[in-house]
Structures are given as structure tokens and as C-alpha cells.
Amino acid sequence: MTKTVCLVLALSLLALLPLHSEETWIAVGYGGRRLVSTDAGKTWEIAEEWAQPGGDDGNNLMSAVFAQGKFVVAGGGGGGDKGAGHILVSEDGRTWRHTLKTKNRVIPLLFGNDRFVAIGPGKQFVWSADAETWNEGAKIEEKVATHPRKGCFGNGVFVIVGNHGGNTTEYWCVVTPDGEAITSLKTDLKAIGDIVFGAGRFVMLSRDGVMMTSVDGISWTETSSLPGEAKPRWIVWTGDEFLVGDGKGSLSSTDGLEWKAAAFASNAHVKWSDGKRFIATGWPGKMSWSSDGKTWEKANELTANGINVVVKKGP
């Protein structure tokens, strides 16, 4: 076999090997802003946005997931002629396309059980197997359940919480396995807020620092084991533990039940962490990063637009 033939065979085999996929993060928020980072939040690029600065209106993107090899984001808001709702898809975080446009907000957008699920206008669930073609699902009939806010998938179900609009204290929670059938709807929650899933349970943290846990999204228990007078403002699941905190300190838990003081802190809201790297944001969209959760650095300066969520491509 000649050297030329060997070289051709070697190159052919290399072509069959999968290319290394660079780590990619996106951050989405006000004005339809979509940021991209490939260095764990040290630098960000504005891939697309619709308005600068944006407001709490039809351009506000509020929810994002990475699944099936693509980023999928959703949001919107407003009412009347200015109302809008969006679901957008991108394989690389830079080039985006609409797969659903509505007259009102679509939120939250979740993935699980091999499908994407969200709540759209008229309190109507929508679902899709590929985030490209969307189907109408179950409709929420409860009068109090008007404004979906946050959600999470875990233990085979989608859990979505909301209120009756504005700053009302009528809180509700709906559970569905697929967006087509509702298995539970409660209207007696003490509070609602960001929800993460890990260690076999949902952990929800309200803006006032009220923490509750659930394994099924139906029965919720308020956590009373937070050390001292802690009232954390943000929560993440790293893949190994829950982290919560505020500008004064932080706590960690491996099960969402027992909490202890943690050796990191951030004056901004931590939006993503794998336990070793941290990405946070302050208003309006001031990004920061840390390699240990203790020492923080500012990311490159960007024009003003608040960020709601940060998502990483892949595991």
C-alpha cells in the first residue's frame, strides 16, 4: 500500500469522527436580546435583539432550554395591538428563526418526556416533538390561574406556577405529563418563584426568600431549615447540589432539604453554574463570571437590556 493511499484512508477515517463541539452559552432577556458566549461567560456577543433598551413588553424573552441539539427560547407580553408571543429556535445561538408567533406571551418553555411544552395565550398549553411544529394541548379552566410565571420538568412531569396577575398573592400550580392532560391544579400555594429540579425533587424559591420543595408538584412543603435569617434571591442546580444566595452570602444543599453555609457569594443574580464555573447578571444586563464563586470578574461591557435566563449547550 502506497503512502498516498494510506494518507487518503487516514483522512477518510478522520472525516468520519465527530467534530469537537465547543461549549456555548446563551443569555436571553429584554428587547428580545440573545447573547452568545463560548468562554463560560467571560465575553458575550449580541447575536440578535429587537429593541434597545427593551421593556416588559412583547419583546421580552423569558424562558430558554437546550434540547435535541438546539436552543429554544420563548416569551413576549403586552396586550392589545402591542401584545406578542414568541418561540424561537437556533442550532448555534447566533442565527434564529420563529417557529411560533402569537398575540400574547408564551411562558414558561420546558423540555421533558421527549417534547417541548409551554403555556400560550388563553391559558392554552402548546407542545411539540421538535420545537418546529406546535400543537394545542390542554386548557387551564381555573379562573385564578391567569398568569404563568415559572416552571420546571422532573420526575416525569411538567410543573408550572403562576399568580392572578400583577403583585396579587393568589398563587397556583399546574402539573401535566405532556401538555395534553392536566393531572393537578392547586390554588393555595403560599408563594411562587424560580423552580429547579435535582436530587429527585423540585425546589422553588420566591422573591421574598420563601423556599418550598415537592417531589410531584402537587404537595409542597415549606423549608424551615435555612440557617440564620437567610432570605436568598436566586437558586441554581449545578448537577450535584442546589445553590442559593444573595449579596450577603450563600447556602448549599445536596438534597434540597438540609442546607449549610457555602463559601461563595455574588452581588448579582447567579443564573448558571456547574459547581465550578458561575455566570451572573445584574440590572440592566451587566454580566459577570467566576471560576470559583468567590472572586468575580465583569464580562465585556454591553448596551443595556436585562437578562432573564442563561442556558448552556449540552450537559
Mean pLDDT score of the chain: 92
Q: DSSP character for 3?
A: H
Distance CA 290, CA 272 (A): 11
pLDDT digits (tens, 9 = 90+) for 32-73: 999 999 999 999 999 999 999 999 999 999 999 999 999 999
The answer to whether 290 and 48 are in contact (CB under 8 A) is: no
pLDDT at 55: 93
Rounding to the nearest 10 degrees, give the CA dihedral for residues 50, 54, 59, 62: 120
pLDDT at 265: 87
Whose cell is 419583546? That residue is 59
Distance CA 243, CA 236 (A): 5
Return the sign of the alpha-carbon dihedral for residues 200, 67, 272, 233: negative
**pTM (two decimals):** 0.91
Mean pLDDT value across residues 73-102: 94
How many other β-carbons are positioned within 10 Å of the β-carbon of residue 11?
Answer: 9
**Above 50 in pLDDT, residue 89?**
yes
pLDDT at 21: 62
Q: Which of 124, 67, 79, 131 is nearest to 103 (CA)?
A: 79
Domain 22-312 falls in which CATH fold?
Neuraminidase (2.120.10)
pLDDT at 9: 45
Cis peptide before 232 (omega within 30 of 0): no
**Above 80 in pLDDT, residue 251?**
yes
Q: Higher-confidence residue: 119 or 18?
A: 119
Q: Higher-confidence residue: 237 or 80?
A: 237
Distance CA 160, CA 152 (A): 7
Confidence of residue 19 (pLDDT cuts 50, 70, 90): very low
pLDDT digits (tens, 9 = 90+) for 105-150: 999 999 999 999 999 999 999 999 999 999 999 999 999 999 999 9
**Above 60 in pLDDT, residue 15?**
no
pLDDT at 72: 99
